[in-house]
Structure 1
Amino acid sequence: MLQTYVDAWLASVRDTIALLEELDDAAWSTPTDLPGWTVADVAAHLAHLEAVTAGHVVDEAPTTASAGGIASVYTEAGVESRRGLTREQVLDELRRSVDVRAERLGGALPDDPTARAEHTPAGVGWTWDTMLRNRTVDVWCHEQDVRRAVDRPGNLDSAGAHVTTHTFAAAMPFVLGKKVGATAGTSVLWDLTGPIALQVGATVGDDGRARPGVPDSPTATLTLTSDAFAVLAAGRRRPGAVEVAVSGDTDLAHRVLEQMAVTF
Structure 2
Amino acid sequence: MPDPSAVDATAAVFADLREEGLELDTLVGQLPDPDWARPTPAPGWSIAHQIAHLHWTDRAALLSLTDADGFGRMVEEALKAPDSFVDEGAAEGAGLPPAELLARWRSGRAALDEALGAASPDTRFPWYGPPMKAASMASARLMETWAHGQDVADALGVRRTPTDRLRHVARIGVRARDYAFAVRALPAPAGEFRVELTAPDGTDVWTYGPPDAPQRITGPALDFCLLVTQRAHRTDLALTATGADADRWLGIAQAFAGPAGPGREPGASR
SS of the residue corresponding to residue 240 of structure 2 reads strand
2:223 to 228, 231, 244: 228
Partner of 2:238: 244
2:102 to 91, 101, 104: 91
| In the alignment, structure 1 residue 115 sits paired with structure 2 residue 120 | no
Partner of 1:209: none
Partner of 1:170: 175
The structure that is helix-richer by fraction is: 2
| In the alignment, structure 1 residue 214 sits paired with structure 2 residue 208 | no
Aligned residues of 1:46 and 1:94 also touching (Cα < 8 A): yes
Q: 1:132 to 1:245 in 2, by over 3 A?
A: closer
Within 5 Å, give how 1:138-217 maps onto structure 2: 138-159=144-165, 161-172=166-177, 181=187, 188-195=193-200, 197-200=204-207, 212-215=209-212
Q: 1:98 & 1:247 partners in 2: Cα distance?
A: 37
Q: Which amino acid aligns with 1:168?
A: G
Partner of 2:262: none
Q: 1:228 & 1:165 partners in 2: Cα distance?
A: 10
Aligned residues of 1:60 and 1:78 also touching (Cα < 8 A): no
Partner of 1:205: none
How much does 1:183 deviate? 6.2
How much does 1:260 deviate? 1.3
What do residues 141-199 of structure 1 show as CA deviations (whole Å, max 9, x unaligned)? 2222222332323352143x2211222223336657997647657x7443323316435
Aligned residues of 1:194 and 1:226 also touching (Cα < 8 A): yes
Q: 1:184 to 1:172 in 2, by over 3 A?
A: closer
Q: 2:108 & 2:207 partners in 1: Cα distance?
A: 36
User: TM-score, normalization: structure 1?
Assistant: 0.72
Q: Which amino acid aligns with 2:238?
A: V
Partner of 1:38: 46
Partner of 2:267: none
Q: 1:51 & 1:248 partners in 2: Cα distance?
A: 41
| In the alignment, structure 1 residue 62 sits paired with structure 2 residue 56 | no
Greater Cα offset, 252-261 or 191-200: 191-200
RMSD: 3.6
Q: 1:233 & 1:3 partners in 2: Cα distance?
A: 25
Q: 1:222 & 1:131 partners in 2: Cα distance?
A: 26
SS of the residue corresponding to residue 102 of structure 2 reads helix
SS of the residue corresponding to residue 114 of structure 1 reads coil
Seq. identity, %: 20
User: TM-score, normalization: structure 2?
Assistant: 0.71
Partner of 1:262: 255
Aligned residues of 2:173 and 2:254 also touching (Cα < 8 A): no
How much does 1:10 deviate? 1.2
Q: 2:54 & 2:179 partners in 1: Cα distance?
A: 28
Q: 1:48 & 1:176 partners in 2: Cα distance?
A: 28
| In the alignment, structure 1 residue 100 sits paired with structure 2 residue 111 | yes
